[in-house]
Amino acid sequence: MKQSAYILLTAFCLAFQVAVLENLRVLDSSPNLLFLVALYAALFAPRRDAVIAAWIAGIAFDIFSSGRFGVYAFLFAGLAAFLVYLRKKVFKEHPLSQAALALAGVAVVEAAAAAMVMVQYHAADGGALISGVVVTALWTAALAPFVLAGLTRLNRILGFVAEHSLANA
Amino acid sequence: MRKNLTTILPLAISLLLILLPPAMTGRLRMFAATPLRPVGEGRRMLAATVNSLLSSPSSEREAALVEENERLRGRIDKLRGQLSDAEDALDAYRAFRENRRRYGLSEGNVVGAAIIFKGGTGPLRRTVYIDRGSADGLSEGMPVVRGEALVGVVNAVGPAMSEVVVLGDPRLKIRAYIVSAETGNTARPSDDRAAGLLVGTRLRFIWQQVGVREGDVVLTSGYGRRFPRGLVIGHVNSLSRQRDDLHHLIEVAPAFDFEGIDRVLVLTDRPGEVRSELPTPENSRDR
Residues A147-160 have pLDDT tens digits of 999 998 988 888 88
pLDDT, residue B215, reads 85
Q: Which amino acid is at B78?
A: K
A46 reaches B (C-beta below 8 A): no
* Cβ distance of A73 and B17 shorter than 8 Å: yes
pLDDT, residue B105, reads 57
- Best A3, A59, A66 residue to mutate vs chain B (most B CBs within 10 Å): A66
**How would residue B276 be classed by pLDDT, with cut points 50, 70 and 90?**
very low
- The answer to whether residues A69 and B29 touch, using CB atoms and an 8 Å cutoff, is yes
Q: Which of A23, A71, A124 sits opposite B170 (nearest CB)?
A: A124
Gap between the Cα atoms of A107 and A79, Å rounded: 11
* Cβ distance of A70 and B122 shorter than 8 Å: no
**Crossing angle for the helix pair A95-120 and A71-86, to the nearest 10 degrees:** 150
pLDDT, residue B278, reads 47
pLDDT, residue B107, reads 53
A141 within a domain of the structure (yes/no): yes
* Cβ distance of B120 and A22 shorter than 8 Å: yes
Q: Which of B196, B275, B277, B177 has its CA nearest to residue B234? A: B177
Q: Which of A51, A65, A69 sits opposite B20 (nearest CB)?
A: A69
Q: Which secondary-structure segment (H or E) carries A146? A: helix A126-152
A22 reaches B (C-beta below 8 A): yes
A72 within a domain of the structure (yes/no): yes
**How would residue A73 be classed by pLDDT, with cut points 50, 70 and 90?**
very high
pTM, two decimal places: 0.79
Q: What is the mean pLDDT of residues A67-87?
A: 90
A159 within a domain of the structure (yes/no): no
Residue of B nearest to A84 (CA): B7
Distance from CA of A73 to the nearest CA of B (A): 6
pLDDT, residue A28, reads 75
Q: Which secondary-structure segment (H or E) carries B83? A: helix B75-102
Distance from CA of B199 to the nearest CA of A (A): 7
A167 within a domain of the structure (yes/no): no
**How would residue A103 be classed by pLDDT, with cut points 50, 70 and 90?**
very high
* Cβ distance of B40 and A32 shorter than 8 Å: no
pLDDT, residue B273, reads 46
Q: Which of A54, A38, A64 has its CA nearest to residue B13? A: A54
Q: Residue A66: its chain B contacts at CB < 8 A? A: 120, 122, 124, 127, 155-156, 163, 165
Q: Residue B13: its chain A contacts at CB < 8 A? A: 55, 70, 73
Measured in degrees and rounded to the nearest 5, phi and psi for residue B130 equal: -110, 160
A132 reaches B (C-beta below 8 A): yes
Q: Which domain holds residue A149?
A: 3-154
Q: Residue B6: its chain A contacts at CB < 8 A? A: 48-49, 51-52
* Cβ distance of B42 and A19 shorter than 8 Å: yes
* Cβ distance of B117 and A65 shorter than 8 Å: no
Q: DSSP labels for A89-130? A: TS-TTSHHHHHHHHHHHHHHHHHHHHHHHHHH-TTS-HHHHH
**How would residue A62 be classed by pLDDT, with cut points 50, 70 and 90?**
very high
ipTM given for this complex: 0.84
Lowest mean pLDDT of A117-131, B31-45, B154-168, name the range.
A117-131
* Cβ distance of B18 and A68 shorter than 8 Å: yes
* Cβ distance of A47 and B3 shorter than 8 Å: yes
Write the DSSP symbol of residue B278. Answer: P
Tell me: pLDDT of B130 over 60: yes
A28 within a domain of the structure (yes/no): yes
Gap between the Cα atoms of B182 and B184, Å rounded: 6
A71 within a domain of the structure (yes/no): yes
Tell me: pLDDT of B239 over 70: yes
Gap between the Cα atoms of A54 and A34, Å rounded: 9
Lowest mean pLDDT of A23-37, A123-137, B58-72, B193-207, name the range.
B58-72
A162 within a domain of the structure (yes/no): no
Q: Residue A23: its chain B contacts at CB < 8 A? A: 43, 47, 118
Query: What are the angstrom distances between the C-alpha of B260 and each of B84, B240, B263, B264?
Result: 21, 29, 9, 11
Which CATH number fits the domain that encloses residue A53? 1.10.1760
**CA atoms A55, A56, A60, A61: torsion sign:** negative
pLDDT, residue B4, reads 80
Q: Which of A15, A20, A129 sits opposite B123 (nearest CB)?
A: A129
A42 within a domain of the structure (yes/no): yes
Q: Residue A32: its chain B contacts at CB < 8 A? A: 121
Tell me: pLDDT of B116 over 70: yes
Into how many domains does chain A fold? 1
